Amino acid sequence: MPPERLLELDDVQVHFPLREGLVKAVNGVSYHVNKGEVLGIVGESGSGKSITARAIMRLLPKRAVAAGGSIRLRPRTGEEFELSALDRNSRAIRQVRGQHIGMVFQEPMTALSPVHTIGTQIMRTVQLHKGLNRADARARAIDLLAKVQMPRPSEMVDAYPHQLSGGMRQRAMIALAISCDPSLLIADEPTTALDVTTEAQILELLKQLQSEMGMAIIFITHNFGVIADIADRVSVMYLGRIVETATVDDIFYAPKHPYTKALLRSIPRLGVDQGRRLPTIPGMVPDPFSVPPGCAFNPRCTYARPGICDVTTPPAKHFGNQISRCHFAEKLAEEHAHV
């Protein structure tokens, strides 16, 4: 039986009509997340990965326009939500944000209130969405803090966010995000601001929670190195579009898009690249007001062919479950066949 789809995005468009011109921050993005899987979304800053996540939650910035596409959620409860049709302040979207999708950010203070204790914030959420009384809600808050491996959870429940270290605040935000057993957790650069040791602990915690609770995760990062550890499948974004989607093994060992290949070359390999200068992707990410015609990656691509890549937008090419949007994806497939 094919895996059950939890979330499906189809041709999602988010535009920013600015004085300088129209920015298509998300330009026809389609992807899906299966129940219980981890989908990594990788891309440089400005690729549209976080704006797509905000479109799912109907939390777009005021200037953004949801210009098209559909976003469908089928949580474990058996309901179905067409998220793209919901008003950002509607009761239904608040229900989705409270019960079905949790979100963690790079900066925990985006989600945590500085003037309330961690316990109060978790208790309010579970009282509202799970109908618990005060005593049960407090017990649930302590359980959740224990679950995210917060030290001394029965004391920490009364701590304010500013009394915690960066790693502990991240744990508190994760406890809040999973407090109503969501079907999906969106983790947007959750480890980017942390030191390497704390990053490894938070990744381990997310993996453990995912397998214990059976929830799916969308893990958004600019760091390809982090993805290998946590994701089942990966989508790579460039300038508002998904350019490649594949299993984590195919992405790492048989990438079929030159941008994925270039990103992979810039990851340092432990013990091999120490002291070596790593290749970088030539050129800069183009100005969002003047995205190149054809394939947007063409000015930086070593495979680009004039007259093709700078004229025609590449279609999606399928290699089993791997999808690449490159005119010459077959050429990359052949290269791997001869390695």
Q: 118-130 and 166-177 helices cross at what angle (nearest 10)?
A: 10
Minimal distance in Å, beta carbon 96 to ligand SF4? 36
Q: 166-177 and 134-147 helices cross at what angle (nearest 10)?
A: 130
Q: Are the CB atoms for 306 and 298 separated by under 8 Å?
A: no
Q: Which residues here bind ligand SF4, judged by CB under 6 A?
A: 257-258, 295, 297-298, 301, 303-304, 309, 314, 326-328
Give dist(CA 75, CA 180) in Å, integer. 13
Minimal distance in Å, beta carbon 305 to ligand SF4? 6
324 three-class SS? strand
Minimal distance in Å, beta carbon 304 to ligand SF4? 4
Residue with smaller CB distance to ligand SF4, 232 or 244: 244
Residue with smaller CB distance to ligand SF4, 217 or 309: 309
Residue with smaller CB distance to ligand SF4, 268 or 282: 282
Minimal distance in Å, beta carbon 303 to ligand SF4? 4
Minimal distance in Å, beta carbon 329 to ligand SF4? 7
Residue with smaller CB distance to ligand SF4, 178 or 301: 301
Residue with smaller CB distance to ligand SF4, 169 or 317: 317
Nearest CA among 14, 97, 5, 30 for reference residue 237: 30
Give dist(CA 72, CA 17) in Å, integer. 25
Nearest CA among 270, 278, 243 for reference residue 258: 243
Minimal distance in Å, beta carbon 238 to ligand SF4? 9
Residue with smaller CB distance to ligand SF4, 73 or 309: 309
Taking only Cα atoms into account, the Rg of the chain, rounded to an integer number of angstroms, comes to 21
Residue with smaller CB distance to ligand SF4, 162 or 331: 331
Give dist(CA 337, CA 339) in Å, integer. 6
Nearest CA among 56, 9, 76, 30 for reference residue 216: 76
Residue with smaller CB distance to ligand SF4, 175 or 281: 281
Q: Around 165, how many Cα atoms within 13 Å sit in the side-chain half-sphere? A: 7
The CA angle 63-64-70, to the nearest 5 degrees, is 160
Minimal distance in Å, beta carbon 134 to ligand SF4? 57
User: Within the chain, where are the H helices?
Assistant: 49-57, 91-95, 118-130, 134-147, 153-156, 166-177, 196-213, 224-230, 248-253, 258-265, 329-337
Give dist(CA 161, CA 80) in Å, integer. 35
